[in-house]
Amino acid sequence: MEILILGGKGELGRQIVKACAKAGYNCTSSSRNPQKSEVYFDWMVCKTFENAFNYDVVINAAPVPDFELYFDFVKQTLTQKRIFVETTANSSLVQAIIAFQEQNKSTSLGLFVHGVGLFPGVSNFLFRAATKQLPETSKATFNVKYSVFSKAGRDMCQLMAESLTRPSVYYQDQEWFAEKSIGPIAVFQEKAQQKNTWKGFLADLPDTQYFAAIRSDLKFIGSYFSPMADALFTLLKLFNYAPKGAVFVKLYAQSFYFMRGILFKNRTSEMIISVVINDKDISQIKVKDAIYAAGVGVAAILPFLSNQTGVLRVDELVEPEVFFEKLKHNESDVFEFRM
């Protein structure tokens, strides 16, 4: 299997290359300024698209500046009977991909798999596993608890900036609702340790879009962010009153990158992902290095791509228990499960 990673020199891309190598795959990275061993690819230069078609699998870990060109490439990839794997956590792109999937269900050429990585990605499987175990589910709440003072790439810093300036959203009774950017705070309690409680604020995360697409019948679906330090809630609430224009979002993203990409670049990103069913049953995954765990999530899906066609969310490829077994087989010490 010949694999090309778009953005393979970025923070996430490097971890995908590393995880794939440990799983036994050889990957080639693309670049807008390629060296000898790299492939020239630029999302804004259409003539470079054909360079990707020399590979069986193309994994995107790069920002997408133009959605129209992006979907032109996706269509070409499907026509060429290649496999395209998308790792984005950009909410706007996620919504566009979900719409694209709805419009292209019947394709029988190549394969386009989206929502691959940690969140979205492993989180999708966690949600599906939790709702599968509890068929009486009526309310599903997703929570990401993370360390702000840790390393992150430019894409994650951009996602943080956008999430803190867009209205938070939730899905209730088959309708979408919006709140302030830092939405209402919820309190979570871990099933295994009754004394372990934490808070989270409603946010606009791509997982809300995925989960609503999977289970539109549920009465409530919402996604929450929880910084490790509760003291940060007061500071983050200020974003409800901060300027929200494109210039300011860019400024916030650059500020986050200065903190997480430079000041704390050597500190791994601890993260706890939880799915809370009916306010009481909690399924959880904990990782010590979220960026590398995302790379492991990409590598773990590769064996399931063969003999598949169409446009699919990653959790539609294989059952959750099979995917989790593959994760444990590849990297037994990366994920801590509480199901």
Taking only the tens place, the pLDDT of each residue in 138-181 is 999 999 998 888 888 887 888 889 888 999 999 999 999 999 99
Q: Which residues contact 155 (CB under 8 A, 6 or more apart)?
A: 10, 11, 12, 63, 88, 89, 90
Q: What is the pLDDT of residue 21?
A: 93
pLDDT tens digit sequence for 97-153: 999 998 887 767 899 999 999 988 899 999 999 888 888 889 999 999 988 888 888
Q: What pLDDT was estimated at residue 16?
A: 94
Which fold is adopted by the domain 119-290? Dihydrodipicolinate Reductase; domain 2 (3.30.360)
Higher pLDDT, 15 or 133: 15
pLDDT score at 147: 86
Phi (first) and psi of residue 172, to 5 degrees: -145, 130
Q: Outline where 104-153 has alpha helix (H).
A: 123-133
What are the residue ranges of helices labelled H in 55-115?
67-79, 91-103
- Phi and psi dihedrals of 324, rounded to 5? -65, -35
Beta bridge partners of 286: 272, 336
The 10s digit of each residue's pLDDT in 186-240 is 988 766 555 678 899 999 888 888 899 888 999 999 999 998 888 888 888 999 9
- Segment among 28-32, 70-74, 255-259 with least mean pLDDT: 28-32
With a cut of 90, say whether residue 183 has pLDDT above it.
yes
Measured from the Cβ of residue 329, the count of other Cβ atoms closer than 10 Å reads 10
Check whether 294 has a pLDDT greater than 80: yes
**CB atoms near residue 65 (< 10 Å):** 10
Q: Per the CATH hierarchy, to which homologous superfamily does domain 3-118+292-333 belong?
A: NAD(P)-binding Rossmann-like Domain (3.40.50.720)
Domain 3-118+292-333 identical in fold to domain 119-290:
no
**Worst-scoring range by mean pLDDT, 87-91, 109-113, 301-305?**
87-91
Neighbours of 69 (CB within 10 A): 16
Going from N- to C-terminal start, the domains of the chain cover 3-118+292-333, 119-290
The pLDDT of residue 36: 67
Crossing angle for the helix pair 123-133 and 206-214, nearest 10 degrees?
40
Residues 282-287: what's their mean pLDDT? 89
Residue 337 has pLDDT above 90, yes or no: no
Say if residue 120 is preceded by a cis peptide, omega within 30 of 0.
yes
**Percent of the chain surpassing pLDDT 70:** 96
Quote the CA–CA distance of 5 and 27 in Å, as a whole number: 7
Q: Give the residue-averaged pLDDT of 59-81.
A: 93
Kindly report the average pLDDT of the chain as a whole number. Answer: 89
User: Among 144, 158, 154, 256, which residue's Cα sits nearest to residue 208?
Assistant: 144
pLDDT > 80? residue 262: yes
Q: Which residue has the higher pLDDT, 11 or 255?
A: 255
**3-state SS assignment for residue 23:** coil
CA distance 184 to 230: 15
| Least confident piece of the model among 55-59, 92-96, 248-252 | 92-96
